[in-house]
Amino acid sequence: MSAGGGGNDVQWCFSQVKGAIDDDVAEADIISTVEFNHSGELLATGDKGGRVVIFQQETENKSQPQCRSEYNVYSTFQSHEPEFDYLKSLEIEEKINKIRWLPQKNAAQFLLSTNDKTIKLWKISERDKRPEGYNLKEEDGRYRDAATITTLRVPVFRPMDLMVEASPRRVFVNGHTYHINSISVNSDNETYLSADDLRINLWHLEITDRSFNVVDIKPANMEELTEVITAAEFHPHQCNTFVYSSSKGTIRLCDMRASALCDKHSKLFEEPEDPSNRSFFSEIISSISDVKFSHNGRYMMTRDYLSVKIWDLNMENRPVETYQVHEYLRSKLCSLYENDCIFDKFECCWNGNDSVVMTGSYNNFFRMLDRSQRRDVTLEASRESCKARQVLKPRRVCAGGKRKKDEISVDSLDFNKKILHTAWHPQENIIAVATTNNLYIFQEKVN
Amino acid sequence: MINTMECSVDAQSLISISLRKIHNSRTQRGGIKLHKNLLVSYVLRNARQVYMNEKYAEIYRMQQYEEVMTVCNEIQELNPLDLVEDCEEQTGDCCGSATESASLCGALLPVSHQAPSAQHIQPSSACSVPLALQSEEVCKAPDPSFYHSCCAEVYPVSNCDFSPVNSMHCNKTTVLDLDTHVVTTVENGYLHQDCCASLQQCCQGAQSPAKKRKLDFEYYVSEIEEVPDFTPCKRAKFEDSSYASTEPLDTSNISNLISIFGSGFTGLVSRQAELEQALNGQFCSKQALASLGAWTRAIVAF
């Protein structure tokens, strides 16, 4: 197994696709989040219908080494239900905005899932044995008449079919007035943060009736509102440090040791806008949709509408690397504004050794950006390339002028087919790419 | 400076698209999305900025052209003595008399009596549009014909200026800066300079961002947690007043255009109070969209 490195010398091939085949997509089936757990053995998805589906990687099949282990459904449960806030006459969507796994401490797995208002801690545990031979109960559960009991026996565990149970262990309610966009588990494994448009709260995993507000950017007069929080994440190693991004394209790093309320940032990461690129939509396309620390904790990556930027935590005035995801869309911003695509929030992710980053685009394209080799490739998640171990062919978009063979022109792109959520296995070259309602799993080609 | 080249949709369409988005967001499932509406408001601000700059630039250009033409014409034909009488006449006309604009223009300008006179009126009308609002408030006579006289008013002021004989008996003082073409007048307590100066300022695109934000977010009048409905009432008010002052003008049919302005302003004055009181966002946004539509029709028609 590789260490998760390599972007372009790696050839990606199709492994699996999950989800309905038909083109008529039920809204509840739209995938809204994808996340590997810390070992990569489990892959969780959340959808607009409030459900969580967890896939488990099968142990490797030694007889077929080319075919790496597959992911099969492990557990499915309804995490959130639609709610109605009677006080404000507002419906609260059940859509799962984010899932974050807790590091495994015992046999059970724990994850946090959140919708717009409520965060839940779920315990996913296996049951493959069941006690039999109770003295006071029959096997079906009915109580025996005490008078008929003449002997005592010790109940024993007998094997049963594997059952995976998901149970909500904690429900963290009423912490947020605005819509929750991020949750992030702290490296101390005791606390986590949740961020909405204007505030960030710190929770203890054991305590549900209280949270501590660490960031509040709500102005005294809402008429003076100029920016909102778009994403937040804890540092992977430093439990006192977290970052949050804003709709203005800035990232603030906060140190909880400095003060209880982190309204004042420790560092502000901002790149001055290029005045020649100014347009009606400058504010929209500079809004950051995702921020992710690198695994080593030295860098962070941000995604805005057209680009991915890598920042060195020690340099605030500009990113160290900038990658254009789909620059050909810059001339189409008007249409993308009209059809609301300009508001799409793309996520991004690092590979295991931080050498390659990945993000999604339209037409079911996704981009692999190799930092070490400074090369990039565009791949497509489509039903056409769904043959087992079929190698994905690089795709090219023709921005203008003469279209070469195998290129696709910008105007032919399907903007309804968007890849917003992607995830990379923490150790191996296995990626999960979510199209509207399908989950594609691609693996590195093994020779 | 916003680069509008890449945009196939003009500023005005963007404004209506944006308002529609804000309106639709109120009925979307899951409640109002603060982030998205914030971004839409930025587009609205940018589009409005470009739109106003374009309109002011257009008016400024027309004004420049007309003033130059008038100077040339008057140097050729103007009789200074006639002009004095006209000015005095005009002073009396302010604040009251219902006079048809064309004839008044004709009286003021010995040069021409038909379309050109209307043309001369044209840039001044645009200029005086904010003044008309002032006049209306002071004189309390929201009569379309009132605007005629006020519109016409500005022009003879310029006449006074252009005239080689400056020792007028008019009770006005006017200075025309031939470099900047700013006409500064003080007449009957109305400072005319404001409109031209502000036009110029707008042409230069100098806008206070803080003020902009405030106007943008009057939209979020109260806390979202307290009032679930958006109340774009104040936004509507601002939009109306800004559009009103930047209307393009047609060379023909001035009276129709002014009657639109007239209804616009009287409507605005009475509507302001209504909008501020109406907490029903539905009502307000409809007003906003309806008034936007009216201006759109006016612009398209002319």
Q: Is residue B256 included in any domain, yes or no?
A: yes
The ipTM of this complex is 0.91
Q: Is residue A1 included in any domain, yes or no?
A: no
Q: Is residue A166 included in any domain, yes or no?
A: yes
Q: How far is CA A134 from the centre of its chain?
A: 45
Distance from CA of B183 to the nearest CA of A (A): 33
Nearest to B2 among A225, A280, A331 (CB): A280
Q: Is residue B211 included in any domain, yes or no?
A: yes
Q: Is residue B253 included in any domain, yes or no?
A: yes
Q: Is residue A5 included in any domain, yes or no?
A: no
Listed in sequence order, the residues at least 6 apart from A403 whose beta carbon sits closer than 8 Å to its beta carbon are A409
pTM higher than the cut 0.80: no
C-beta of residue B44 within 8 angstroms of C-beta of residue B18: yes
Q: Is residue A6 included in any domain, yes or no?
A: no
Range of the domain at A48: 12-444
In B, residues 185-214, which contact A (CB 8 Å cutoff)?
213-214
| Digitized pLDDT (tens) for each residue of chain B, 302 residues in all | 565 555 567 888 999 999 999 999 988 888 889 999 999 999 999 999 999 998 899 999 998 888 888 888 888 776 565 554 454 444 444 433 433 333 333 333 343 344 444 344 333 433 333 333 333 333 343 343 333 333 333 333 333 333 343 443 445 555 544 444 555 555 544 444 444 443 444 444 333 444 444 444 433 333 334 433 444 434 433 333 333 333 443 333 333 333 333 333 333 333 433 444 443 444 434 444 444 443 333 333 33
- Answer whether B50 touches A (CB < 8 Å): yes
Q: Is residue B137 included in any domain, yes or no?
A: yes
Cα separation, A103 vs A3, in Å, equals: 20
**Angle at B214 (CA atoms; ends A316, B279), nearest 5 degrees:** 130
Best mutation target, B3, B9, B39, to test chain A (most A CBs within 10 A): B39
Cα separation, A204 vs B98, in Å, equals: 76
- Answer whether A247 touches B (CB < 8 Å): yes
| Digitized pLDDT (tens) for each residue of chain A, 447 residues in all | 444 444 457 899 999 999 988 778 899 999 999 999 999 999 999 999 999 999 999 876 656 655 567 999 999 999 999 999 888 888 999 999 999 999 999 999 999 999 999 999 999 999 999 988 888 888 888 888 888 888 899 999 999 999 999 999 999 999 999 999 999 999 999 999 999 999 999 999 999 999 999 999 999 998 899 999 999 999 999 999 999 999 999 999 999 999 888 888 999 999 998 888 899 999 999 999 999 999 999 999 999 999 999 999 999 999 999 999 999 999 999 999 999 999 999 999 999 999 999 999 999 999 999 999 888 999 999 988 888 888 999 999 988 777 788 889 999 999 999 999 999 999 999 999 999 999 999 999 876
Asked if A279 lies within 8 A of B7 by C-beta distance, the reply is yes
- Domain of A172, CATH number, reads 2.130.10.10
Q: Is residue A2 included in any domain, yes or no?
A: no
Name the domain count of chain A: 1
What does the mean pLDDT of chain B come to? 52
Residues A392-423 pLDDT 10s = 999 999 887 777 888 899 999 999 999 999 99
Range of the domain at B186: 4-279
Name the domain count of chain B: 1
Chain B residues close to A220, C-beta within 8 Å: none
Q: Which helix (H) or strand (E) holds A121?
A: strand A119-132
Q: Is residue B251 included in any domain, yes or no?
A: yes
Q: Which long-range contacts (CB under 8 A, 24 or more apart) does A1-5 make?
A: A1/A427, A1/A428, A2/A428, A2/A429, A2/A444, A3/A352, A3/A353, A3/A427, A4/A351, A4/A352, A4/A353, A4/A424, A4/A425, A4/A426, A4/A427, A4/A428, A4/A429, A5/A351, A5/A352, A5/A353, A5/A355, A5/A356, A5/A429
Distance from CA of B239 to the nearest CA of A (A): 16
Q: What is the DSSP letter of A446?
A: -
Q: Is residue B63 included in any domain, yes or no?
A: yes
Query: Chain A residue closest to B12 (CA)?
Result: A280
